[in-house]
Structure 1
Amino acid sequence: QFIGLLDVDGILLQANETSLKFAGVQESSVVGLPFWETVWMQHSSTLQEKIRAAVKEAAKGRFVRFEIDHYATDGSLHYFDFSLKPMKDDAGKVVLLIPEGRDITERKQAEEEQARLATAIEQSAEAVFITDTHFIIRYANPALERMSGFDRNELIGRHIRILANENHNESPYTEMFDSLTQGSVWSGRLFYLKKSGTSYEAEVTASPVRDKMGTIINYVSIHRDITREVQLERELRQAHKMEAIGTLAGGIAHDFNNILSVIQGHTQLTNLKLPKSSPLQHSLNQVLVSCGRAKDLVSQILAFCRQSDHAKRPTQLLPLVSEVLQLLRSTLPATIEIRLDIKIPPEQSVILADPTQIHQVLMNLATNAAHSMGSQGGTLEVRLSKEKITSSRTPYQSDLLPGSYVLLSVSDTGHGMDRSTIERIFDPYFTTKGPGGGSGMGLAVTQGIVKGHLGAISVNSEPGMGTQFHVYFPETHEEVAPVPDNKEYLRTGRERILFVDDEEPLMEMGKEILETLGYRVTGSISSRKALEIFRDQPSAFDLVITDMTMPELSGTELATEMMAIQPHLPVILCTGYSELVDARQAQAMGIRQLIMKPWGISEMAAGIRRALEQSQLI
């Protein structure tokens, strides 16, 4: 404590030892000076004026008090609670003034530190709340208000369970409460519930707060919303899965298409040999349709993994719907009734589409509907109609241009969905199914396909009232290409062909098909052996048909070797996976035709004639 003595004019008469030592001066060097001109006040002209004014006030008999700062001899800044007290004689006249200064530096620094901390917590991006020992919220920062949607006044005085999401596992909350009451810090992840009812995941650190005696007086919790971060982690894992699927798809595409080639080829051969009146024709045609669908599915998987565009063509929606429902009837429980409600003729259900993708949309919606009804059964209804979209559109139609649309509606009598589920139903990886029940990608992919077809999809549902999906596809007036007759328009010939494929069933089948078309065929399951045959008699062959992926020489290597012997040799390259070579690359190598497996008889017949005709032009 600093203390001194002034006369009524502010002249210093006396100063105690503490104040002199603080300034590093002798009493003789300051006594007799106006108090505001002493060493304690020289660092600030503003302070000097303030002290001069305070002396005048105190001389009038008033007690004056305020905070001032001084620099010690070591250069450190100190804060003082300064006062001037007037001393009066018996007549009430002011005769002396007593200046007094109490060092409040530590208190001031503590207050400033507290203010800094309070400001930091108030402005923190992470949510902070403080509770008492009964977990009643006593403080909540603005970040918690933003994160939770609750106003601070709605939180203070409430148990922290106001934020807890009771739909998730209770044990992390119990674990946190137990750790805190035992005086330990707890860290982990918790699911909280916003005021809106939306769940979010947070990374939490909760700590006990103790007084000077070590008694727990509060708990402080800091949490960070990691919902988006967790979502990105999940998407990254899914992206890695998709990358692995892409690699796997490329690996199996060749083998799978080889299997399809055998099935399709022998089916076509059988079909060719049967009379049109045969009752087996219908069954064989169904096999060929399924082979085509399987081929398209492999192409779609490969295209999806490469994120490439899908070719669209005028397609009637009604036959696709009928095909999907026919497939579903054999797989769904008998307790589910399937209804088809057609409001338009087939020729008015034409859209510009990739049939395989539309097939996928129908399967996704139908299987979702079946899943929502479960074992108790119900009704699955698919409806086709038309709708005219005008400028006055509903919110879910806002992305649609005015015009005529084919409307596909899929409804069920299942358990339905609440509003929060509907809001997330098209989110990638969101699923209401249990572990192993689904990836949560079905409806996200469905929405992506629909948007890719310039359409829109909406959902209506209530708990216990079933669900209705409505899908809009722009109608097109382009003409649908006719389905080719497997027995007609087959171009034949008498040329000599060397047919090479390392899969013996494929080689035998290809040889038989080509011979059926009238060609003279030499077959080989060894690319090295085929090269030897050709090298011995290059003029014995008018055309070479070779597989791409083979163990000794690849198709392109074999073609290059043969064309080095006979430069204008027409070569057809067959592949079940086009990642290694495309039509442009094949053409640059001198290969006349690139045909994807499984190939159809008419496709191969036409390809052979084109390759031979091109060679005649050279």
Structure 2
Amino acid sequence: MRSPVPTHRFRRILSLQSTFLAVIPFLLVVFLNVFLLLPHITQDVATGQREMARAFGVAMDNYLTAALTDVRAVAALPLHRPAYLADLQEILDAEVEASASLNLLYTALPDGRIKAAGIPKDHRHTLQDHLTLERTSLAHEQLFRDTRRLGKAVWSNTFPSAFGKGVSIAVGVPSGNLVVIGEIDLAKLVGSMRDIVGSAGQVIILIDHNGKVIADQGDLSRDPPRFVGDIPLVRTALAADHPVSGEFRLQGRALVGTVMRSTHIGWYILVAQPVQSAYRSVVITTHNVAAGAAAALLLALTASLFLARRLSRRLEELAGFARRVAAGHKAIPWPPGEIAEVEQLAGALLSMADEIQYREQQLVEGERLLRSVTDHAFHYQGLLTPDGTLVDANRTSLALVAAKKEEVLGVPYWDTPWWRHDPELRERLRAAIATGGQGVPARFETTHLDHEGELHHVDFSLSPIRDEAGAVIYLVAEGRDITDFARAKSALKESEERFYQLFVQNDDPVILMKLETLQVIDANPAALTLYGLRREELPSLRIDTLIAPADLDKIRTELAQHNISQGFLQRAVSYKTGGEKIIISLRGTRIMLKDEELLLCSIRDISEKLRMEQEIRATQAKLIQTNKMTSLGMLVSSVAHEINNPNHCISINNTVLTQITRDALAQLKTLSEGQGELDLGGFSYDEVLDMVPKLHDGIREGSLQIDKIVRDMKNFSKPAELDMQGTIDVNRSAENAAAMLWHHIQRNTDCYRTELGQNLPAVQGSQQQIDQVVINLVMNALQSLPDKQAGVTVRTWFDEGRQTVNVSVEDQGDGMSEEVLARLTEPFFTMRINKGGTGLGLYISSSIVKEHGGSLDFESEPGKGTRVTVRLPIRP
């Protein structure tokens, strides 16, 4: 007979079990956090970061597309022509000032030297800075070489700004044999980062193809740019074609982030946040459960020690009685006690012996019937103990892995051939067996490898078998082969995912709606951005509130009448949520989705395209007018040359006639003294003697005046001299303008005056160009006069305070409004287009004055005339 079980061992077992039961909930929660909650939180963090990266990518693409459009607008001009080369600085300044994205705009010659640069007004540099920049060479810059080699627009990686403004990015566009390069204003791009991130604790970093930081929320002047390509997450993303998420370290901080590629430019966007803030909920839950488990552990240990002390003695007596009953001594009396459960157990032991024999017979019959059923089943079946030990398996399951029954019986189910190929599935099975032992069934999809190595998808279930008392005595494991169904389901899921990705990542706005009711089902981010919508507004939105119903009906009618899958409208009217009208092109495609016919509308905003086409047509008309004026200048030069030849003949002949007349008058004097009074063409000799020299002098003066006018016309039609080292006489410019325009002055006014200052300081520059400016101003003043009683005054003087020599042209004409004054120096802007005006006179005059370092000021009021003042700095 065995010796009695020691009491202290029972107490220890009871204490350990109580402690284990208290720890189980804590371990279960930790398991759920690690294997269920943590992956979901990680996926949510990555999803949120991808959405933020897409939002910034859309904003960045729009920002950079605007910059590319501005650069292309300049590159589209014939910059290689002399007329544009002379005004290149002003063109670049005007374009960069009007651009919302450019920080610097400059052109490079074929050898790489910078020809001219445009800078916003609030970043103006000195003339010396411009000269220094023009001596800079871009011949070794990758952007310059790629643009000339490829002959199309090329975006750069990070590089030092040409004006020394730290790190920058740029786009190059070819323009004939020149290259136009625009540097992007990264400060505004960083501003959009801050607007998107807000106070969410996120970080956005823009990375180029080489792994260098283009921009972030920090300092933009870092030179050279920071390199993050050595971070494993970034390195993986640069080599992949899809978003990559994970943890990494940056500047000593542990971060979790997502890197995705921009769809338009191809740069990479990194959105990150600290690991602690990302997984804060998991940490808080674990801490709370740990505190509760510690309290439960303390209570369980105390209770178990108390119960063990009380029950140990009585259970030892019951154990001895049970051994005697088991040995067949049923007549041995049981001493009564105070614990009712123990007394009941003792009585049950007596009846158990009889019951066991009867049950053994029934069990043999039941096992024979169960074996017959399970061996002929097509499903995989097995029988487990509550702790997971395999006690039986049918022929179908054994045939799958080509195993013999004796090889697998008595082995933990997770160590059998059905589960050895996947550690994660083994752990999941163990968890299911643990809960199944507590009476909770389980069902999940798993995989098995057959004896040939082929993978089978199985619908697995684990069901508990209870005895009459409700205790779990066995677990039935059953598997149904669903390989064909799983493959079809996987293919369908992949197809749906591909469609969704194409829908979401499409650069064009796309809207999915019901064909009959026009109810919007979904819209991609591009459509939400175009119309200013929020996703939560889609369920109550009808497409006919955004697109003109008449245009939408055309698409529906075309799809219905012709039984085709696609309809297209070249031009349709649409409205944003704020009521703004836009012009779009619309393509509708009829698709079937879940047995419902839907309409997939692809939209493209062509408002800007139509506006640019109108501007191009207007610019072409102005260029045609300018070409006419150029031809007119050539005609004037030719006519001046033709006039010059007969004028020389008149001058020479007049000189000869003067000598002949002098001699003839001497002879006539002698004849008059001898014959008396002579009649010469109706004049007396004395009258002829006084009048003829004056007539010859008048012919000579007229010839000289014609020669001067012709010379002035020829000089005016010549191209402007590039030499700016000459000396300018502003009084001479005023006199030349009066001489050149004397015919127009006589025809337009009787009140033309000049007030010329004396002893004016010297001004350095081109006399011919300043003559051209004064002529343009005087001509404009004459054309503005309402009648000949209105006058024009030209005045010159020295401004000692400003150290400038000034020329003013003041008229008593119609005057101008503030709106017209603001646009006077714009190229091709004119108020007299129907009278032959080109809109280039004041633009060219302003350019010439700026080249001389001066200014052109306008003062005017409607009905009170206009005064234009040219201020030229004196020579140092």
Work out whether the TM-score is over 0.5: no
| TM-score calculated relative to the size of structure 2 | 0.34
Larger Rg: 2
